[in-house]
Amino acid sequence: MRVLSGIQPTGRFHWGNYFGAIRQYIALQQHEQAFYFIADLHALTTIRDAALLRQLRQDAALDLLALGLDPARATLFLQSDVPEVVELTWLLMTVTPMHLLEKCHAWKDKKAKGLPADAGLFTYPVLMAADILLYDSDIVPVGSDQVQHIEVARDIALRFNHLFGDVFVLPAARTLDESAKVPGVDGDKMSKSYGNTIEVFEDPKKLRKKIMSIKTDSTPVDAPKDPNSCHIFMLYQLFATPEQQAALAERYRAGGMGYGEAKQALFELADQFFAPARARRAELAADPATLHDILQAGAQAARTKGGEVLARAQRACGLSSLSAG
């Protein structure tokens, strides 16, 4: 079974990215053939600063490797290093009904809000379908808000197969376990768009400052507190053992503990949890040649597989060379 997923380099990874998705991607590489790419072509719909995009692409690659993505088990590459995906996108565009794209959430949401939307956003789901279909992907792990894009990819593949024969493998979505709630510093869902994130590789001093800024209620220090309604405790649960969780929950309910003490406990666990990855990242960042080699090897593997699928699609719709018949 081949697993495929892409991650947009639109900002540094935060705790929500890690616990909601990246941790699960890394677990899947132990059991499946995995293709993971940094979706820099998709990022062009929002990032128009070339230097920033280059930096974010590098940061994304370093972060994924430091967090445990193993190039010996999984294929990691830049989306733009596989030009076959752009050619396949055009083939798929020619069979994609307009009404299918008009129903997609990102386009509908922007139009409903009266915000400017370009052709890149409108055709975004077709490029995503090409990302998936180019590698004969069986499983695509996504959040619940992305399941629609997998359904669109299946619809496009089915239409192409109906018109030209059995060309594409039909992918299936594997919904990521989103049970780990990751609130931001303001209590809302942690998201770059809300500006409430805590980055995975935050400098320890900045990390502590952000944790200490987490919003709390006005319950007095002496009063008992409900750990299950506290954002600090929700975040603490992401890092703590069951025994540690039980001990801190007891401190909440007993009273006599201020939120500052809980925040300090969260800081210490989070800093310790990501310390090994922070050290690995520093080593990788000091060796740019190795990062380059990993991404180039990944791109070559992706192009080899992608070239096979693209050639299959070209033959099916009549674009193979004349000498090949």
Q: Which residues are catalytic?
A: 110, 189, 192
Q: Within a 13 Å sphere around the CA of 198, how many CA atoms are in the beta-carbon half?
A: 28
CA distance 64 to 281: 9
In the beta sheet, which residues pair with residue 173?
A: 140
CA distances from 282 to 65, 70, 199, 272, 292 (A): 11, 16, 16, 16, 15
In three-state secondary structure terms, 111 is helix
Nearest one of 77, 41, 35 to 60, comparing CA atoms? 77
Quick one: DSSP state of residue 20?
I
First to last CA, the chain: 32
Cβ contacts of 278 within 8 Å, gap of 6 or more: 66, 201
Contact status, residue 9 vs residue 45, Cβ threshold 8 Å: no
**What does the block give as tokens for 192?**
């770059």
The rounded distance, in Å, linking the Cα atoms of 262 and 19 is 20
Question: For the chain, what is the total number of helices (H) and then of strands (E)?
Answer: 14, 5
